[in-house]
Structure 1
Amino acid sequence: MYNQQKMRPNIVIVATEVESVRLIFKRHPDIAVEFRAKNQHLRKACMDFLLSLIETMCQSLEELSNEDLVEADVALTYLRDAGFKVDWLEKKLDHVKVKKEKEQFCVARLQEMEDSLLELWKKCSDLDALVEKEEEELSDTRTPLSLDDVV
């Protein structure tokens, strides 16, 4: 069990989550000041929800989908409505959204560049083949006639 002065007592926290919860309450001691759920199961569900939201936000941008970010917004609204002070989390989520947009822009731009590069490689390959053919023709043209050819 984890007991925090500004949080209602007796929220059951799984041992693996204790450090995460400790860190959250250390950095944001007023997070649950207005949290009023009395039912133990609902209290735990809200804490699980908070921890899951944070875990989601800690995923790599490659793993995070736009749908995940929409659901994260819904989760944030739910936590705020439940009485959690999560302005700090909203700012972090906004930051993650901006990074996701930038990632998507970069991925699209990178794909465009790779497509252009592929096109250039093809042109270079085609031009290289033409150069080779022209060199063969030039070589054939420059070959002196032999006595046999002349007579």
Structure 2
Amino acid sequence: MVNNTESSESSDDEQSYSSSSEEWSKSSDDADEIVEVNGFQVLDSQVNQVMAIFEKYPDMASDFSLKNQQLRNAYMGVLLNLIMTLCQSPDELTMDDLNKADSTVLDLTKAGFKLHWLRQKVDEAFLKKEKKREFRARIRLLEEKVKKRKLSLSDLESDLKKQKATALATETPFDFSDIV
């Protein structure tokens, strides 16, 4: 269910979601359209994301019983923010981000959202982060081994040059002046 409501001049107590700060904030000049999707009011720019969630997981909010519209909107904002956090690359995601994501999924689930699918993604993100850490450690170890082998090879090449020079010196015949 999608309902469009044009947001004109907003009052001081009206709240809108600010995508730049990714937090609910008061706005005095909000020209963005507010759209209702399955009982949640979201910005027009978020409609496709919210509709995609409900299309794939239609019963996601079936146990979500909050009646206060501002709280409902805030919870949806938290869910969207969490999903955007998980869309970051494993390099950008910190363990702190993942721990916060983990507790946020727990909080949203306690509020009534059915988020087994998102729980799996958080777990996958943890695994990716751990594998990346393991790969980095293994790469560092291999780089150290390569460096040691290169140094060893350099030492062997130096020894080889010395041996060749010594061997070459033994092959040269004596000169008359060397003998007399």
Q: Is the TM value for this pair above 0.5?
A: yes
- How many residue pairs match? The answer is 146
- Work out the CA distance in 2 between the residues paired with 1:132 and 1:73: 61
Say if 2:37 and 2:50, in contact at 8 Å, map to a contact too: no
Give 1:39 shift. 2.1
- 1:103 corresponds to 2:132: yes
Counterpart of 2:53 in structure 1 is 24
Counterpart of 1:64 in structure 2 is 93
Q: Which runs of 5 or more structure 1 residues have no equivalent in the other structure?
A: none
- Which of the pair is proportionally richer in helix? 1
- Letter in structure 1 aligned against 2:61: A
- 1:3 corresponds to 2:32: no
Give the TM-score, by structure 2 length: 0.76
Deviation by residue 1:54-98 (Cα, 9 ceiling, x = unmatched): 111111111111111111111101111111110111112112212
Quick one: percent identity of the two aligned structures? Answer: 37
1:1-150 equivalence runs, <5 A? 1-4=35-38, 9=39, 11-150=40-179
Which aligned runs of 4 or more in structure 1 are off by greater than 3 angstroms?
none
- Work out the CA distance in 2 between the residues paired with 1:68 and 1:114: 29
- Work out the CA distance in 2 between the residues paired with 1:60 and 1:142: 64
Give the TM-score, by structure 1 length: 0.89
Give 1:115 shift. 0.9
Give 1:137 shift. 1.8
Give 1:112 shift. 0.7
Deviates more, 1:133-142 or 1:115-124: 133-142
- Work out the CA distance in 2 between the residues paired with 1:92 and 1:3: 24
- Letter in structure 2 aligned against 1:147: F
- Work out the CA distance in 2 between the residues paired with 1:54 and 1:2: 19
- Which of the pair is proportionally richer in strand? 2
